[in-house]
Amino acid sequence: MKLEKGELKNLLEKIHLNLNKLYYIATHDQKTELYNNIFFKDVFALELDKAKRGKALSLIIVDIDFFKKINDSYGHIVADKILEKVARVLEKEVRKYDIVARFGGEEFFIMLPSTALERAKKIAERLRKAVLKDNFLRKYHITTSLGISEYKKMDNFEKISKRADKALYRAKETGRNKVCY
CA 17/CA 136 separation, integer angstroms? 35
Residues contacting 168, CB < 8 A, separation 6+: 61, 63, 145, 146, 147, 180
Neighbour-count burial for 58-94, b at 16+ CB within 10 Å, e otherwise? bbbbbbbbbbeebeeeeeeeebeebbebbbbbbbebb
Per-residue pLDDT, 6: 80
CA 181/CA 165 separation, integer angstroms? 9
Per-residue pLDDT, 47: 97
Per-residue pLDDT, 41: 97
Q: pLDDT tens-digit profile of 76-95?
A: 999 999 999 999 999 999 99
Mean pLDDT of the chain: 96
Give the DSSP H/E element, type plus range, for residue 82. Answer: helix 76-93
pLDDT band for 162, please (50, 70, 90 cuts). very high
Per-residue pLDDT, 104: 87
pTM: 0.92
Q: pLDDT tens-digit profile of 6-47?
A: 887 888 899 989 999 999 999 999 999 999 999 999 999 999
Is there a contact between 55 and 113 (Cβ–Cβ < 8 Å)? Answer: yes
Q: Please name every residue paired with 61 in a beta bridge, in sequence order, or none if there are none.
A: 109, 147
Give the DSSP H/E element, type plus range, for residue 119. Answer: helix 117-133
- Shortest CA distance to 111 belongs to which of 181, 29, 176, 48? 48
Is there a contact between 109 and 160 (Cβ–Cβ < 8 Å)? Answer: no
- Is 13 catalytic? The answer is no
Q: Which of 93, 106, 118, 150 is catalytic?
A: 106
Q: pLDDT tens-digit profile of 84-143?
A: 999 999 999 999 999 999 998 999 999 999 999 999 999 999 999 999 999 999 999 999
Per-residue pLDDT, 9: 84
